[in-house]
Amino acid sequence: MACHICPLFNLRLLLLLGAVLGNGGLGRGGGAEASDRADPDPYSILMWHDYSPPSPPLPPPDPPSPTATCEGDLHGKGDFHTRCEVSEEVELDGDVYITGNGSLVLLSGASLTCEKYGCVISANFSGEVRLSRGVRVTAGRVSLVATNITVADTVVVNTTALAGDPPDRTSGVPTGTHGDGGGHGGRGASCFVKEGQTQEDSWGGDAYAWSDLEHPWSYGSKGGSTSVEKDYGGDGGGIVWLFAEDLVMNGTVLANGGDSNEKGGGGSGGSIFIRAASMHGGGKISASGGDGLAGGGGGRVSINVFSRHDDTQIFVHGGRSSGCPDNAGAAGTLYEAVPKSLIVSNNNLSTQTDTLLLEFPNQPLWTNVFVRNRAKVAVPLLWSRVQVEGQLSLLSGAILTFGLTRYPYSEFELMAEELLMSDSTIKVFGALRMSVKMLLMWNSRMEIDGGGDSIVATSLLDASNLIVLKESSVIHSNANLGVRGQGLLNLSGDGDTIEAQHLILSLFYSIQV
């Protein structure tokens, strides 16, 4: 008997099977759509909009290691669960990890020394860590954690020129045989200038670890050498962490880059991180670059202390350059967490080498940024926003550069309550959109190079309350410039100038010239 509905049934079966297979292919990501997903989207937000990856986490905890003993490893008396007293000069062969529920006391004249690159001395106590007068602790990384830490006067905690390896995928160690300085918080200097370039176009090791400046943990980098056969470069600075409830800081804490001679560059400064509820004393903290043919860049220091009653001197300047004395290494960074302030100071050492300012945090905003004492900072990205809640302050020979000298095509935003400039300079290569409440300039210059690009040929300076120029201060643009405000514009004396190819002054309540 012939089946008249079989062809129709077979057709429906084929259609159903095709639909199932088609859906299965889609479910597995196959077919044409899989190919579409594999190709990058030319209009993707990741390609055409700014994307800042999250900051990396703090470094992992120290690997499990046999805990040292008071009498056996430190030649002391007592134990770590009650009280361990050390009175001798102890030479350590390698890393030492100390933990206990008691206290550690290094008596006057005692020392713990491990002069190997990256060697670790780590002490974590529930009670007290006391470093008495004259004590020396020397290693590549020193980490002290306790309820109370006392660093007495004449104590030296020293990681200078004992750095381990800097982080992967960084370029803090200079290449070539020009004896350039190492980089970290600031770029290392270079006294070698290629034909057709200027000193500002040349630097040694590059900066790194910007995203970690609030909790620095990177080693400094080695300086370059002038010889292939022999390494004359200074070594990078190490790491010091001091964590306590109460910190008495009267001694010296060092993570400086190592010095070299006329045949090598200085190493860059390392990292110092201090976190405490309260801090007292008047000691010295330094993560500065080493001296050499070209100076090393400064390191990174972070102070996270809720209640400060100290007069501590803190240095992060670049190292001196014997081959080009007016071009020291660039300054590193000092971050003070409680006021949320970033400070860049080169200790009045002249430099033509930059400290790079990269992405600024959006939430929470930093309160203040201070650039001073001949520090030279640069915002090198194609588009950047420098935004703080309070004051952006440029003092005592500071220079802030937006963009690249040879490519004036960038756009920048500067937002703050106040922009204060004293004996300082702002250079803009491209367009600047500034929004502040007060702009105060004293013997300072703002120079805007709009280039030949019509898109970035107009800059706008908006100061809602007050603009005051004194002591021959100048705002100059070779392109279009709009200056706008709702309060007072005051050009107080001879030489105070606002000039541009096309200049518009608008909305001011009063203009005094």
pLDDT band at residue 21, thresholds of 50, 70 and 90? very low
Local structure of 19: helix, strand or coil: helix
Provide the β-strand partners of residue 182.
none
Burial call 76-110: b when 16+ CB within 10 Å, e when fewer: bebebeebbbbeeebebeebbbbebebbbbbbeeb
**Within 10 A of 290 (CB to CB), how many other CB atoms are there?**
35
| 255, 238 Cβ separation under 8 angstroms | yes
The stretch 252-270 carries a mean pLDDT of 98
pTM (predicted TM-score): 0.86
pLDDT score of 440: 98
Q: Note whether residue 189 is domain-resident.
A: yes
Instruction: Count the domains in the chain.
Output: 1
For 31, list phi and psi in degrees, rounded to 5. 70, -160
Tokens of 371: 């650039």
Among the residue ranges 15-29, 229-243, 339-353, the one predicted with the least confidence is: 15-29
The stretch 281-302 carries a mean pLDDT of 98
Q: Note whether residue 147 is domain-resident.
A: yes
Does 182 have pLDDT greater than 70? yes
Does 387 have pLDDT greater than 50? yes
- Expressed as residue numbers, the domain containing 348 is 89-356
**Within 10 A of 486 (CB to CB), how many other CB atoms are there?**
14
| 99, 86 Cβ separation under 8 angstroms | no
Question: What is the DSSP-derived secondary structure letter of residue 335?
Answer: E
Nearest CA to 244 among 142, 380, 368, 125?
A: 125
Q: Note whether residue 118 is domain-resident.
A: yes
Q: Note whether residue 396 is domain-resident.
A: no
Among the residue ranges 23-37, 128-142, 186-200, 336-350, the one predicted with the least confidence is: 23-37
The stretch 14-22 carries a mean pLDDT of 39
The stretch 48-74 carries a mean pLDDT of 60
pLDDT score of 138: 99
Does 137 have pLDDT greater than 90? yes
**% of residues, the chain, pLDDT over 90:** 78
Does 36 have pLDDT greater than 60? no
As a whole number of angstroms, the distance between CA 350 and CA 335 comes to 22
Q: 6-27 and 31-38 are packed helices; what angle lies between their axes, rounded to 10 degrees?
A: 20
Burial call 259-283: b when 16+ CB within 10 Å, e when fewer: bbeebbbbbbbbbbbbbbeebbbeb
Does 297 have pLDDT greater than 80? yes
Q: What is the number of residues in the chain? A: 513
Nearest CA to 111 among 124, 119, 121?
A: 121
Q: Which helix (H) or strand (E) holds 245?
A: strand 239-249
Q: Note whether residue 347 is domain-resident.
A: yes
| 315, 170 Cβ separation under 8 angstroms | no
Q: Note whether residue 422 is domain-resident.
A: no
For 268, 351, 386, 410, 431, the CA distances from 379, given in Å and listed in that order, are 21, 16, 9, 10, 13
| 335, 360 Cβ separation under 8 angstroms | no
pLDDT score of 63: 53
**% of residues, the chain, pLDDT over 70:** 87
Which residues neighbour 419 within 8 Å (Cβ) at sequence distance 6 or greater? 391, 392, 434, 436, 438, 439, 440
Q: Note whether residue 243 is domain-resident.
A: yes
Q: Rounded mean pLDDT of the chain?
A: 89
As a whole number of angstroms, the distance between CA 350 and CA 193 comes to 17
The stretch 443-455 carries a mean pLDDT of 87
| 297, 330 Cβ separation under 8 angstroms | yes
Q: Note whether residue 26 is domain-resident.
A: no
Radius of gyration of the chain from Cα atoms?
29
The stretch 163-169 carries a mean pLDDT of 94
pLDDT score of 197: 85
As a whole number of angstroms, the distance between CA 491 and CA 489 comes to 7
pLDDT score of 323: 97
Question: What is the DSSP-derived secondary structure letter of residue 12?
Answer: H
Q: Which helix (H) or strand (E) holds 6?
A: helix 6-27
